[in-house]
Amino acid sequence: MKKALKIILGLILTVIIIVFGFIIYDRITSDNTYTISEKNLKIPIFVYHDIVENEDEVEFDYMQISKETFEEQILGLMKLGYKPISYEELIAYSKGDIAISKKSFLITFDDGFDGVYRHAYPFAKKYNIPITSFIINNYIGKEGYFSWKDAREMDKSGVVSIYSHSLKHDEYNKYLSQDLLQDVTESLTNIEKELGHDITKVFTYPYGLYNEEGQKLLKENGIVQNLTDNKINKSNKLNIYGLSRMYPLNDPVWKIILKIEYRSIRY
């Protein structure tokens, strides 16, 4: 009996030492940076839609997040060593040109809602955090969406990147690839015209709907593509022409981290 107790205590102690060892190792290496060939990194891309002032305005968990919860998520992750990066950095990393932090992640907003300009942008500016807004050209300036004037201001700040979420937010998996290419090209060209400079060609499929033929044609035209599949990118099979994105929802930081770890093992 005594011997069994000793073994159990020994096992518990071993587990505690391993867990603490892991946490300490994680903390002391959190500033380490790696190039794409050096280490297999998990690179989550967060997909948000609108930011609202108060908790009670959150109607759907995947569509709205309160300003407070959003800030808690991002600052909480950063406190634990997570580093927000831009698409420019992700692309340069994918080509082997730069090293990135081992806990890099990206913050994206779909559709171009007003809350991005009103809440995400001031926060991003205050903490110098790169964020990305995927806009729908035909919706910009309409009720509930920010305007081109807002877009230009955010773009000038250097913390917000504006990329394409198509001209009209259709189900593009049903499109002929030529028609998809035309829509996305027109959307990107229009953004460049409105912002007054060239942009990196980045596109996000509305509703995450795509087909392989369209994806291939956009890739041939050098267009970086985002899906909405709730998975985590891993650098050993990083595909910038089919990037995975996950929903942080209105979750607390610990739950987001668990999801990142779980999904990177599962997929």
> Under the rule (CB under 5 A), what is the footprint of Zn ion?
110-111, 206
**Judged by CB, which is closer to Zn ion: 204, or 250?**
204
Give yes or no for a contact between 190 and 151, defined as CB atoms under 8 angstroms apart. no
Neighbour count for residue 256 (Cβ, 10 Å): 21
- In angstroms, what is the minimal distance from the CB of 83 to Zn ion? 26
Tell me the residue length of the chain: 267
Quote the tokens at residue 51.
């930011």
- In angstroms, what is the minimal distance from the CB of 227 to Zn ion? 12
Neighbour count for residue 16 (Cβ, 10 Å): 10
Residue tagged 């990305």 (tokens) = 132
| Integer-rounded Cα radius of gyration of the chain | 20
**Judged by CB, which is closer to Zn ion: 111, or 150?**
111
Quote the tokens at residue 251.
């979750």
- In angstroms, what is the minimal distance from the CB of 112 to Zn ion? 9
Quote the tokens at residue 200.
């990196």
**Judged by CB, which is closer to Zn ion: 89, or 110?**
110
Which DSSP symbol is given to 120? Answer: I
The closest of 266, 267, 225, 232 to 246, measured between CA atoms, is 232
User: What's the CA gap between 130 and 160, in Å, rounded?
Assistant: 6
**Judged by CB, which is closer to Zn ion: 47, or 85?**
47
> Which residue's C-beta sits nearest to Zn ion?
110
**Judged by CB, which is closer to Zn ion: 215, or 228?**
228
- Helical H runs in 80-168? 87-94, 114-115, 121-127, 148-157
**Judged by CB, which is closer to Zn ion: 170, or 194?**
170
